[in-house]
Amino acid sequence: MSILTQNKGLKAGPTGEFARTIGRLLTQDCLLCAAASEDNIVCEACAADLPQLQKPCCPRCALPTPNGEICGRCLVKPPNYEATFAAYRYDFPLDKLVQSFKYGHRLALGAYFGRQLVPVAANLVADVIIPLPLHPERLRERGFNQALELARPVSTALQLPIDATHCSRTRNTPAQANLPWRERVKNIRGAFFCSTDFTGKRVILVDDVMTTGASLDECARTLKLHGAAEITLLVVARALAKP
């Protein structure tokens, strides 16, 4: 239902009819199946079919484990964050939606995915939300930080402030996507900088996709060096295949 027709205060008559007409005109088609989806960018049927994150999983990195215990990698080398929460598994067709959001400038998908993160984050206790920073050059190229767009609905729902200022990316590293795990870790080392003290702060660190987690872990490490007490990762999707 269009947002213009959701208001129960609309009365019959020219004004109400006009609003209903505009509401019908503003309905859109589902990006996946092209069926009419009213004011949703993904219809209910396609939303129900999006790949769900497999559970049980490691509470630290969200990779599947038999009984929900901490995985071997996190036991051997604990990450700089305490927990990871994801709304989906990074797989078809969700991957196409995420790519359309980031590279196709479909900002409505950012709002949509942000809303899907709200129930995932509902029970999190934190002081501040930090979107994973983009380097200024990458930000100019893309025109927006996808992590910030995802953080907005979560901030509103949890009534938590977003700090998109005091944690920055100071090194424009090569794209992580095509690098093996060890190279990703080396590539991202020292890429973030904090310009304020986060002592005692419980941080929700937001991004779109977690693959190896190298970028998120390095940002978390930087935040911990500046006093952050606890860091929880909140991502739209978790890639399960280890590179």
Contacts of 170 (CB under 8 A, 6+ apart): 135, 191, 192, 193
Q: Is residue 243 in a domain?
A: no
With vertex at residue 213, the alpha carbon angle to CA 208 and CA 217, rounded to the nearest 5 degrees, is: 110
Report the predicted TM-score, pTM, of the whole model to 2 decimal places.
0.84
14 pLDDT more than 50: no
Largest CA distance in the chain: 68
- In angstroms, how far is CA 198 from the centroid of its own chain? 22
- Residue 79 shares a structural domain with residue 176: yes
Is 169 in the same domain as 229? yes
Tell me the per-residue pLDDT of 149-199, one tens digit each, with 9 for 90 and over: 999 999 999 999 999 999 999 987 766 556 555 666 667 888 999 999 999
**In terms of DSSP H, where are the helices of 28-142?**
44-49, 72-76, 94-103, 107-121, 136-142
Same domain, 130 and 87: yes
Question: What are the tens digits of pLDDT across the range 78-110?
Answer: 999 999 999 999 999 999 999 999 999 899 999
Count up the domains in the chain and report the number: 2
Taking residues 49-61, what's their average pLDDT?
93
Choose among 225, 226, 213, 218: nearest CA to 192.
Answer: 218
Order across the sheet with 128-131: list the strands: 83-89, 230-238, 202-210, 128-131
In a domain, 3, yes or no: yes
Structural domain harbouring 1: 1-49
The answer to whether residues 16 and 69 belong to one domain is no
Same domain, yes or no: 41 and 141:
no
Residues 103 and 145 in one domain: yes
Whether residue 162 sits in one domain with residue 100? yes
At 20 the pLDDT is 38
Q: What is the CATH number of the domain that holds 98?
A: 3.40.50
pLDDT at position 13 is 38
What is the average pLDDT across 219-236?
98
- pLDDT of amino acid 80: 98
